[in-house]
Amino acid sequence: MPIDPSQTLEQLGGQRWPDPPPDTTSLVKAVHELRRRPVGDLRPDELARLITQDVGLPWLLPIAVRILCDTAPGQAAGGWYDDDLLYAVVTRNPRVWEQFSDLAHELRRAVETLVDLSRYVRDEAETFLGSLPEAPTAGVFWAAPESRAVWEALPPTVMAAIARCDAERLEVERSRVVPHVRERMTAPVYSVAHRFASWERLARRMEPGWAGEDYSISAYGNDLDSRDALEQVMRALPAETGEGLLPQLLGRLDARFRASTLPDPERSLRLWARPAAEGPEEELGEWWRRKPVRAPWAG
């Protein structure tokens, strides 16, 4: 469920701890105090302290992962990045990540872009990456049968254009990772096929009957970002695609998304799902101005 940033861990968990004994450690006193603070007011170092103690993980891990993912793109250029928060997150027990599989793979994508991490963080980050099971895919089109069917029917000219888009995206992704990871990258994570499949899965998640894996609201923001990227993809395709298979597929998926959402003039989800690219509100795609009738992260 979306996390109300004005609530404390005590309110979110429905459990108030008694005051710690007077002679307890400063760490224990700090944890008790932080549990009584609104989670939206917690600084990264305070999040790290709580996460390291395995306190409030269902509510704090999504917040921490969002911070890490938001700041990862600027890290290679010397932007701010919190190694302590990263360390706290990646050192959680692998069984924790089994409960938050979508969140784990979202974090994985961010970690793989990082460069120049200190050794103690790099070693733990690599251990985290190695402990994750493969993403729940049977190829990129898992749970996206409509996209798969269209891909199998695309003409060679369109497939060649898609390959060019993917090659450009691969170079972008390779430029963001450390050398030993770069050498292993032969295909982009965010391929054109991935973008379409993600958009179809989101449409399916919001329809009755979805029985897939757990899904977080931060992953929802990523899927809306993928829809943004499809605008650029469609402009890069050959003119002869015009009214072809891919535009038709995108139109159908957009219609399914629209049918499962309502206008959201209050931008009620913007605290948790924000566009990766800043810009005027009126220039955002309509998907950012709607909210699910049936929230896919609710159950």
The pLDDT value recorded for residue 177 is 65
pLDDT per residue over 252-289, tens digit each?
A: 999 999 999 999 999 998 887 888 777 788 888 999 99
The pLDDT value recorded for residue 291 is 93
Phi, psi for residue 262 in degrees, rounded to 5:
-125, 155
Question: Could you count the other beta carbons within 10 Å of the beta carbon of residue 155?
Answer: 12
297, 215 in Cβ contact below 8 A? yes
The pLDDT value recorded for residue 42 is 92
- Asked whether residue 140 carries a pLDDT value surpassing 60, the answer given is yes
Question: Nearest-CA neighbor of 215 among 107, 299, 95?
Answer: 299
Residue matched to tokens 């101005």:
289
Cα distance between residue 131 and residue 127, in whole Å: 6
- Asked whether residue 198 carries a pLDDT value surpassing 80, the answer given is yes
Higher pLDDT among residues 161 and 290, named by residue: 290
Question: Nearest-CA neighbor of 42 among 19, 15, 18, 61?
Answer: 61
pLDDT per residue over 71-116, tens digit each?
A: 887 776 676 778 899 999 999 988 788 777 778 877 887 887 777 7
The pLDDT value recorded for residue 256 is 95
Mean pLDDT estimate for the chain: 83
- Asked whether residue 161 carries a pLDDT value surpassing 90, the answer given is no
Confidence of residue 136 (pLDDT cuts 50, 70, 90): very low
Phi, psi for residue 107 in degrees, rounded to 5:
-65, -40
pLDDT per residue over 200-255, tens digit each?
A: 989 998 888 775 556 777 778 888 988 998 988 888 776 655 458 899 999 999 99
The pLDDT value recorded for residue 133 is 60
Q: Which of 12-21, 28-37, 42-51, 128-137 has the lowest mean pLDDT?
A: 128-137
